[in-house]
Structure 1
C-alpha cells in the first residue's frame, strides 16, 4: 500500500514512534521499504503537534535520517484538549499556520509517491481530536480519489480530561463523514494487554504500565493488519500460538 502517513498530536506521534521502530527494524529492507519510504530513503510520514516535545523525542529515538525535516511540524502552544481550539486553531503569531503547513507538507509528500492510494492517520479521539477532524476533512477535499484510513485511540473510560467524551463524539462524527475506514483501539484494552504481557497479577487498572508498552501493544496489532510479514511476528503473538497448537494437534 503506497500511502502517506500522518501522525497527529501527542498520542498519534507516540503511537507512530512504536510503529516506525517496528518497521525500521526489519532486516529485509529492499523488499519492504517501498510502501513506507520515498525514493531518497525518507519515511513517507508527516508529524504534527501543537507542542514540540513529543515530535522532538520521536526524531531522536527513531534512527537518524529517517524523517524529512520539513515534515516535522510543531506549534508553540497546546490546545487544552479543546476540540474547537484544535479545529479552528489559535489566532496568534506562529500558531495560525499550523494547519496550512501540515497540508502543504502532505501535498508535497503525495507528489513524491509513484502512486498515491491514500492517507493513514494516527490520532486520539480525546486530545488533538479537533485538528484530526479538520485535517481529514481537508484531505478529502484535496485528494477525493485517495482513501483515508483512521487509526483512532479511544481515551480511558475514567480519563483525566472532562472534555474527552465530547471530543470523541465530535471526532467520530467527522470520521464517519469523511474517512473510508476506522480502526478503533481502546486505551483500557491496550492497558490490559500490556499488563498481561508483563505478567502482572494485580488488576490491570492498578498496574504501573508505561505508555510505551501500551503503544507497543497497539503497534503489534497494526503490523498484523497493515504489514503482515513473518519477520514481525513474535513467539507470543496470538496467531503464532494458535498455529502452533494446530500443528501439534495434526501430529
Structure 2
C-alpha cells in the first residue's frame, strides 16, 4: 500500500522488530488493506544501522519471506552516541555510503508500492545513528519525495542516562526533524518504564538497554510503545463504512487531523488500558 517503515539505529530496530511481529500476527486479518504490507505479503520495512548486532535478528524475517534482504542496510562501526558522527559519518566515504545505501533501499521499496504516500521513521533522538543518521535521512527523503508525508516515531531518552551527549543529540535531532518532517510522535523512556512496574531508582541507559534493566523489562517497554503506535496507525473496524473500507486506513490521517499547521508537529500519546498485543 502507501507506507514505508524506516527503522534506524538500535532503538529503532528493536521497536521495529516488535512492530513487525505484531503485523505478522495480524497480517492474515488485514493483509489486503494494511498500509504496511505489500500484495505479495512482504513487509514494507527498511532496516538501517551502523553496526550489525541488532540487525542479525531480522534474518528470521528474511528466512520466513516476510522481509527482503535488500532492505537490510548495515555499517561496520557505530556512531559513538554522537549526533555529528551520525549525520556526517566518521569519514566522508563511510558516511555517504551508508546514506546512499539506505536511500536506495527506501527508493526501491517506494517503487514497489501501488501508491507511495510517505515514510514512518522509528528511531531514538539520543544516540548517534538514530538521531544523526535519522536526521540526515529525513532531509534526504524530503528532498527526494517533496510531496510525500514523513511521520517520525521518536523515543526520548531517560532524564538521567549514561551518555553526556544525550541532551545535545536530542536538541539537534528534534530541531532537524522540525524542519523536514510533517509530524513527530514522541515517546518517553521514563514513561514507558513506569508501565513496566519496576523500581524507578534503577540505573538505566540512554538508549533503554543496560545491565540495570532486565531484558523482559526492555521488551515490555517496546511492546507498550508499539501498542500505542498500533492504536494510532493501524486500520480500525469502528471507522469502517458499509463498503468495508476503513476511514483510518492510512497513517497520514493522523498528520492531517492533528498537524494542520506546519509549526505544530510534536505529538504525545498514552494508552488508556494495559492490554498488551
* Fold match by TM threshold 0.5: yes
Seen in structure 2, the aligned counterparts of structure 1 residues 238 and 147 have a Cα distance that, compared at 3 Å, is: same
What are the residue-to-residue correspondences of 1:96-111 with 2, within 5 Å? 96-111=96-111
TM-score (norm 1): 0.84
CA offset at residue 93 of structure 1?
7.0
Aligned-partner Cα distance in 2 for 1:140–1:133: 11
1:122 maps to 122
SS of alignment partner, residue 26 of structure 2: coil
2:272 maps to 238
SS of alignment partner, residue 28 of structure 1: helix
Whichever structure has more helix as a proportion of its residues is 1
Q: Which runs of 5+ in 1 are unaligned?
A: 231-236, 242-251
2:231 corresponds, among 203, 209, 224, to 224
2:184 maps to 182
Asked if residue 75 in structure 1 is aligned to residue 109 in structure 2, the reply is: no
The number of aligned residues is 229
Aligned-partner Cα distance in 2 for 1:113–1:204: 44
Asked if residue 6 in structure 1 is aligned to residue 40 in structure 2, the reply is: no
Q: Deviations over 1:90-109 (max 9, x none)?
A: 22776641100000111111
SS of alignment partner, residue 131 of structure 1: helix
CA offset at residue 41 of structure 1?
2.0
SS of alignment partner, residue 97 of structure 1: helix
Q: Deviations over 1:14-57 (max 9, x none)?
A: 00111111111126345455411223321111000000010111
1:245 maps to none
Aligned-partner Cα distance in 2 for 1:89–1:29: 42
SS of alignment partner, residue 204 of structure 1: coil
Give me the CA root mean square deviation. 2.3
Q: Which runs of 5+ in 2 are unaligned?
A: 203-211, 238-270
2:200 maps to 204
2:193 maps to 191
Asked if residue 60 in structure 1 is aligned to residue 71 in structure 2, the reply is: no
CA offset at residue 182 of structure 1?
0.6
Question: Which protein is bigger by CA-based radius of gyration?
Answer: 1
Seen in structure 2, the aligned counterparts of structure 1 residues 96 and 179 have a Cα distance that, compared at 3 Å, is: closer
1:147 maps to 149
Q: Deviations over 1:141-185 (max 9, x none)?
A: 000010000000001110111110000000000010010001000
